[in-house]
C-alpha cells in the first residue's frame, strides 16, 4: 500500500451498520445475490428477477424511482420507505439498489461501499463479457512482427525516422542547448580525430546526434549529409549496418536505446521508468495492465514503462455498408488497445487468489503519458496457414489534435468498474494531473509499397504547414496529401497547458 | 359513556379492494414485459450522453458536493437537487424521438 494516497481514491470507511452486517452475515448475502444478477449487453449489472415484480415498493406500491432490495428478507422498498423498513425490522439495514447493483444503507439513507461486494458483482460481470471477435481473428495474425524493408539506399528508413526525431521539439531543445556537452564528452575526441578511431573505442553517438542537430538548424542552406552520424550509428548497431534495408520503427527504438546508454552512467536513476536521460524524459510513459481472474475476480495490476505504443489496425467496418473503402481511425485503434480482452484457454494466467492457472481477462490502459507520444501502427499480417506475411494497406484516419483522456487508466478503470471501489485500492497519486492529456501531431512517417520493398516518407508539421520529406527532397504540401497516405508512425506532442 | 350510534362501520382489514390498474400502469407493464422499456432506456442513455447532458449533471453534482463538503452529502440530496434541473434541460429532440418510439410501440402492441 502506498504511504500517500490521493484522497479521491481512498476506500471510504464502512458505516457502523455495514460493519455490523458484515460481522453477522459475512459474505453469504453477497454470494446468494450473485445468482440473481443479470448483466445487460451494455455492461450494466442489475437485479434480474421479473422486473414487474421487483420494481414496486412494498409499502406504497410506487413504481417509479430507485428501489432497494433488502439483503436479509428481499423486501423491495422505494427510497422514501427504505428507512421505514429498517426501522421496523432491526438488523435489516443493508440493501441493494435494484437497477445499479450497488449497496445502500437504509439507516444512513446513503450509498455505502464494500470491496468484497464489488468483487462479487464483477465476477458475475466478467463471465458475461462478450468475447471480442477481433481477438480471435487477431490471434492468428499476431506472429513475429515483420519489418519493412526500405527503398534505395540504407538511409531512407533512417532518414525518415531521423527527420521525425530532428523535429521533436524537446529533443531539439536538448541538443541545441548543448546539454550533451560535446566539449566535455569523454568520448568526444572527434575534434582531433575525425574518422580514425582507435580500435575498441566507439564514437559517441550522442555527440554525433548533437552534430546533426546543429548542422540542420544552423541556418546554412547547403544540403547536409549526415555521414558522420551514419558511420557512428553503424558502429553501434552492427547488426543493422551495411546495405541492408531498415525499418523505421526499429531505428527509432535503437536510437533511443543508444542515447539512453550514453547518458545513463552520468545520471543516477533506478530504472527505465525513472530514467532522466533525454530519450526517456521525452518518450517514456507508463502502461498499466490489469489481469482479472474469471473465477474469483481477483485483479492483478502491473505497470510497465514504454517509449511508444504499437497499435493493431482496427479491422475495418465501412461506415456505409455499400462503401467498399475501409476506414479505420486512430481512436478506433486506441479503443481496441484498451478493450478488455478475454485471454484464450491456451493463455491461462496464474491467479494468486485461486493459486492455479485460470481463464482471465486482460485490459491495458495508460497510467502516465509521455511528453511526446509515438504511435506505431502494426501494418503487417502474418498468416500461419500460408506462412507468409503481408502488409495491410488500409488508410488510417488520425486527428491533428488528440485528447488521450479516455485512454488513461483512471478513465478506463472507471468506465469498466463504474463505482466499484476496489479497482483503485493501492493506486498511488493521480498521475494524470501532472500532464495535460491533449496532444498535437507534429510528424508522421508513412510507408508505401510492399513488405519486402517500399519507401518511407516523413511529413512534418511546422507552424500549421505540412512539409514532405522524401530523402533529400523537401516540399510544402497540403494536409490532404498527408491524410491520403498510409501512416506507419505518428508523433504527437503535448499541448502546453498546465 | 354513550357510544356514538353514528360511528362508521369498522373497515375490514382483509377486504382491500384491488385498485383497477390505470392506463399508465398497463402501458408500463406491457413495455417492461416485452423488453421494450429496456431498449428505450438504453436509447435514452445513449442520446443523453451524446448531447452532453450527463456531463452537465455530473458537473452540477460535483459542484454541489464540493460546496456541501464530501461527507455531508447523501444520494437522496443529490437526487433532489439534480432532478428538477435534469428534467428541465433534456433537449427537445431527445424527447421527440422517444415519444415517437413509444407511439409506434403502442400502435404495434394494439392497446
| pLDDT over 70 percentage in chain A | 63
Cβ within 8 Å, pair B76-A40: no
Instruction: Tell me if ipTM is over 0.90.
Output: no
The torsion angle over the Cα atoms of residues A204, A147, A140 and A391, rounded to 10 degrees, is 150
Q: Please determine, for residue B5, whether its predicted confidence score (pLDDT) is greater than 90.
A: no
Q: Which pLDDT does position A192 carry in this prediction?
A: 36
Average confidence (pLDDT) over A475-479: 90
Cβ within 8 Å, pair B38-A66: no
Select the more confidently predicted residue: A22 or A271: A22
Cβ within 8 Å, pair B74-A110: yes
Average confidence (pLDDT) over A65-79: 86
In three-state form (DSSP H/G/I as H, E/B as E, the rest C), the secondary structure along chain B is CCCCCCCCCCCCCCCCCCCCCCHHHHHHHHHHHHCHHHHHHHHHHHHHHHCCHHHHHHHHHHHHHHHHCHHHCCHHHHHHHHHHHHHHCCCHHHHHHHHHHHHHHHHHHCC
pLDDT tens digits, residue range A430-458?
Answer: 554 556 789 999 889 888 887 767 788 88
Q: Which pLDDT does position B65 carry in this prediction?
A: 93
Q: Please determine, for residue A144, whether its predicted confidence score (pLDDT) is greater than 50.
A: no
Q: How far is B76 from chain A (nearest CA, A)?
A: 7
Average confidence (pLDDT) over A261-279: 66
Q: Please determine, for residue A387, whether its predicted confidence score (pLDDT) is greater than 50.
A: yes
Q: How far is A110 from chain B (nearest CA, A)?
A: 5
Does residue A53 sit at the B interface (CB-CB below 8 Å)? no
User: With contact defined as beta carbons under 8 Å apart, do A186 and A203 qualify?
Assistant: no
Residue A31 grid cell? 454470494
Tell me the sheet residues that pair with A391. A380
- Cβ-based contacts of A55 with chain B (< 8 Å): 32
Q: Which of B74, B77, B83, B86 to mutate to test the interface with A (most CBs of A within 10 A)?
A: B74
Confidence of residue A158 (pLDDT cuts 50, 70, 90): low
- Cβ-based contacts of B79 with chain A (< 8 Å): 66, 79
Cβ within 8 Å, pair B42-A42: yes
Select the more confidently predicted residue: A411 or A182: A411
Task: Say if strands A360-368 and A372-378 run parallel, antiparallel, or are unpaired.
Answer: unpaired
- Cβ-based contacts of B32 with chain A (< 8 Å): 51-52, 55
- Cβ-based contacts of A66 with chain B (< 8 Å): 79
- Cβ-based contacts of B28 with chain A (< 8 Å): 63
Amino acid at each position: 500500500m502506498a504511504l500517500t494516497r490521493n484522497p479521491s481514491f481512498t476506500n471510504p470507511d464502512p458505516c457502523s451498520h455495514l460493519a455490523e452486517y458484515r460481522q453477522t452475515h459475512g459474505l453469504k448475502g453477497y454470494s446468494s445475490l450473485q445468482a440473481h444478477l443479470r448483466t445487460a449487453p451494455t455492461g450494466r449489472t442489475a437485479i434480474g428477477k421479473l422486473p414487474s415484480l421487483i420494481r414496486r415498493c412494498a409499502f406504497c406500491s410506487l413504481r417509479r424511482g430507485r428501489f432497494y432490495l433488502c439483503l436479509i428478507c428481499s423486501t423491495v422498498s422505494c427510497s422514501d420507505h427504505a428507512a421505514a423498513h429498517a426501522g421496523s425490522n432491526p438488523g435489516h439495514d443493508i440493501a441493494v439498489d435494484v437497477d445499479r447493483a450497488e449497496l445502500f444503507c437504509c439507516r444512513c439513507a446513503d450509498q455505502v461501499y464494500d470491496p468484497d461486494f464489488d468483487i462479487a458483482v464483477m465476477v458475475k460481470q466478467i463471465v458475461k463479457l462478450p468475447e471480442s471477435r477481433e481477438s480471435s481473428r487477431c490471434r492468428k495474425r499476431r506472429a513475429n512482427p515483420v519489418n519493412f524493408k526500405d527503398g534505395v539506399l540504407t538511409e531512407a528508413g533512417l532518414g525518415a525516422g531521423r527527420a521525425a526525431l530532428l523535429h521533436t521539439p524537446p529533443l531539439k531543445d536538448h541538443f541545441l542547448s548543448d546539454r550533451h556537452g560535446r566539449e566535455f564528452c569523454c568520448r568526444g575526441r572527434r575534434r582531433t580525430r575525425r574518422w580514425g578511431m582507435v580500435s575498441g573505442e566507439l564514437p559517441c553517438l550522442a555527440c554525433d546526434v548533437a552534430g546533426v542537430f546543429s548542422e540542420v538548424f544552423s541556418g546554412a542552406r547547403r544540403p547536409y549529409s549526415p555521414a558522420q552520424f551514419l558511420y557512428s550509428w553503424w558502429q553501434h548497431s552492427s547488426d543493422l549496418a551495411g546495405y541492408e534495408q531498415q525499418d523505421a520503427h526499429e531505428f527509432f527504438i535503437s536510437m533511443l536505446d543508444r542515447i539512453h546508454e550514453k547518458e545513463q552512467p552520468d545520471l543516477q536513476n533506478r530504472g527505465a521508468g525513472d530514467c532522466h536521460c533525454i530519450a526517456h524524459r521525452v518518450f517514456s510513459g507508463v502502461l498499466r495492465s490489469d489481469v482479472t481472474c474469471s473465477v474469483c475476480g481477483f485483479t492483478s495490476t502491473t505497470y510497465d514503462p514504454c517509449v511508444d505504443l504499437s497499435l493493431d489496425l482496427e479491422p475495418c467496418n465501412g461506415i456505409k455498408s455499400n462503401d467498399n473503402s475501409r476506414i479505420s481511425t486512430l481512436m478506433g485503434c486506441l479503443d481496441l488497445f484498451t478493450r478488455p480482452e478475454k485471454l484464450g484457454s491456451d493463455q491461462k494466467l496464474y491467479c494468486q487468489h485461486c493459486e492455479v492457472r485460470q481463464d482471465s481477462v486482460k485490459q491495458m490502459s495508460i497510467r502516465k503519458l509521455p511528453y511526446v507520444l509515438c504511435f506505431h501502427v502494426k501494418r503487417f499480417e502474418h498468416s500461419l496457414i500460408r506462412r507468409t506475411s503481408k502488409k495491410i494497406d488500409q488508410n488510417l484516419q488520425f486527428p491533428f489534435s488528440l485528447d488521450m483522456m479516455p485512454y488513461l487508466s483512471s478513465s478506463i478503470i472507471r468506465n469498466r468498474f463504474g463505482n466499484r471501489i476496489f479497482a483503485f485500492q493501492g493506486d498511488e497519486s493521480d498521475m494524470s494531473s501532472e500532464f495535460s492529456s491533449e496532444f498535437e501531431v507534429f510528424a508522421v512517417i508513412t510507408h508505401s509499397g510492399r513488405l519486402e520493398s517500399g519507401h518511407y516518407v516523413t511529413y512534418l508539421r511546422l507552424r500549421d504547414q505540412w512539409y514532405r520529406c522524401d530523402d533529400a527532397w523537401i516540399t510544402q504540401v497540403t494536409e490532404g496529401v498527408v491524410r491520403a497516405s498510409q501512416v506507419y508512425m505518428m508523433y504527437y506532442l503535448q499541448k502546453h497547458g498546465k | 359513556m354513550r357510544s356514538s350510534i353514528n360511528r362508521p362501520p369498522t373497515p375490514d382489514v382483509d377486504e382491500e379492494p384491488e385498485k383497477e390498474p390505470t392506463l399508465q400502469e398497463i402501458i408500463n407493464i406491457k413495455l417492461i414485459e416485452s423488453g421494450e422499456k429496456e431498449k428505450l432506456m438504453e436509447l435514452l442513455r445513449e442520446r443523453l450522453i451524446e448531447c452532453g447532458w450527463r456531463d452537465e449533471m455530473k458537473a452540477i453534482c460535483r459542484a454541489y458536493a464540493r460546496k456541501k463538503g464530501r461527507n455531508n452529502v447523501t444520494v437522496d440530496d443529490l437526487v433532489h437537487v439534480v432532478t428538477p434541473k435534469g428534467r428541465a434541460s433534456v433537449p427537445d429532440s431527445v424527447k421527440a424521438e422517444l415519444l415517437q418510439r413509444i407511439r409506434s410501440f403502442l400502435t404495434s402492441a394494439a392497446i
